Amino acid sequence: MPMQQNGFVDLRMHHQQQGDEGFWPSFTDIMTVILMIFLLAMLTLLIRNMDLVNQLRQALQAEQQASQALASTSTQNSTLNQKIARLENEVAMMRMQLMDVGDAKVTAEAKLKIAQQELNQFRLAQQQWQLAENALRQQLSVAEQQQVSLKLQNDALQQSFNEKSQDYMQLMQQTGMQKEQLDRLQQEYADLDVKYKKLIRPARSTLGKFVVMVRYQKIDGKLLVEMKEPQENAFREVDAIEMHKQLAALQEKHNKDLYVKIVFPDESGLSYNEAWNLTESLLKMYDYYYQE
C-alpha cells in the first residue's frame, strides 16, 4: 500500500527503493508529464489551427460570393475583382504560412484582419455602386416611360399627319382635276379666240401682195416643184431645198406682203392628203396670212 507524505499519497513506482535507485523513475514520470503537457499544447494548437482554417474557408467562400456579385456590376467593379483576387492570393499565401505554425500566425492574423477590413470597404463600395445603379435604373425607367409617352404622341402626330396627307392628296387631286378643267377651258377659249379672229379678220387676198406661185405635180412617182414670181412669165423647175431658200429670202424681203399661191394641175398625180399636207406646211411657213 502506498505511503503518505505530508498528507499526499506517493504514487511513484518502486517507492520502497530509496537513494539513487529512486531518481530515474521519478525523472521518467516528470518527462512523461512534460510530454503529455506538450501533446496537449500541440492538440490545442492544432484545434485552434483547424478553427482558423475553417474561418479562412468561410472567408474564402464569402469572398467568392462577393466576387460573383461584383462580376455583374459596372466597369469599376472589375477593379474590385482585381483587388479581391489579390486578397485571395494573400489569403492563400497566409494559409500556406499557417502550416508552419509559429510566429507567422500572428502576422497571418494581422494580414487577415487587414484583408477583412479591405473586403468590408469593398463591400461598402459595392453597396454604394449598387445604390447608384438602382438610381440609374430608376432614371432609365422614367426615361423609358417618357419615351413611351413621346412614342404615343408621335403616333398620334403621325396619324394626324397621315390624315392631313390624305386630305392634301385629295385636295391635290381636286386641284389637278380643276387645273385640267382650266387647261381644257383655256384651250377651248384659245380655239374659240382663233376661230373668232379668223371670222373677224379679212379674207386672204392678193390685193397689194407680192404673189409667188408654187406648182406641185408628180411625174413617174417623182415630185416636181416649180416656181413663178410676178416678174416671170413662166414656171421654172426647182428642187425642194432651192424652193425653201427662195421663199425664205422673199419672206425676209417682203415680210407680211408675201402671198404664196399653190397650184395643182388637174393631172398632178397627187392624192388629196398629199396635196393638203404640202399646202398647209408651205403656207404656215411663208404665207402672210398664216404668220399673223
pLDDT tens for each residue of 196-218? 666 656 788 888 899 999 999 99
pLDDT-based confidence at residue 194 (cuts at 50, 70, 90): low
pLDDT of residue 7: 53
CA dist 250 and 146 (Å) reads 84
User: What mean pLDDT, rounded, does the chain reach?
Assistant: 82
pLDDT of residue 1: 44
pLDDT of residue 158: 87
What element of type H or E holds 25?
helix 23-70
pLDDT of residue 4: 47
DSSP-based three-state secondary structure for 262: strand
Residue 5, strand partner residues: 8
pLDDT of residue 35: 92
pLDDT of residue 248: 94
Mean pLDDT of 157-172: 85
Angle at CA 51, nearest 5°, toward 111 and 88?
35
The domain limits of the chain are 4-131, 210-290
pLDDT of residue 229: 94
pLDDT of residue 34: 93
Spell out where 167-234 has E strands: 210-219, 222-228
pLDDT > 90? residue 44: yes
Instruction: Locate 50 and state its grid cell.
Output: 483547424
DSSP symbols for 236-248: EEE-HHHHHHHHH
Mean pLDDT of 78-97: 78
More confident residue, 236 or 5: 236
Name which of 73-77, 94-98, 187-191 the model is least confident about. Answer: 73-77
DSSP-based three-state secondary structure for 51: helix
Query: Rounded to the nearest 10 degrees, what angle do helices 23-70 and 76-98 cross at?
Result: 170
**Tens-digit pLDDT profile for residues 229-283:** 999 999 999 999 999 999 999 999 998 899 999 999 988 889 999 999 999 999 9
Buried b or exposed e, range 133-168, using 16+ CB within 10 angstroms: eeeeeeeeeeeeeeeeeeeeeeeeeeeeeeeeeeee
Spatial contact of 258 and 292, defined as CB atoms under 8 Å apart: no
pLDDT-based confidence at residue 89 (cuts at 50, 70, 90): confident
pLDDT of residue 76: 67
More confident residue, 225 or 256: 225
Give the length of the chain.
292
Pick from 61, 64, 95, 104: nearest CA to 81 = 64
What is the pTM assigned to this prediction? 0.35
pLDDT of residue 129: 86
- Chain centre to alpha carbon of residue 282: 66
Bridge-based pairing state of the strands 222-228 and 210-219: antiparallel
pLDDT of residue 147: 86
CA dist 43 and 37 (Å) reads 10
Mean pLDDT of 124-141: 88
CA dist 283 and 279 (Å) reads 6
Spell out where the chain has E strands: 4-5, 8-9, 210-219, 222-228, 236-238, 258-263
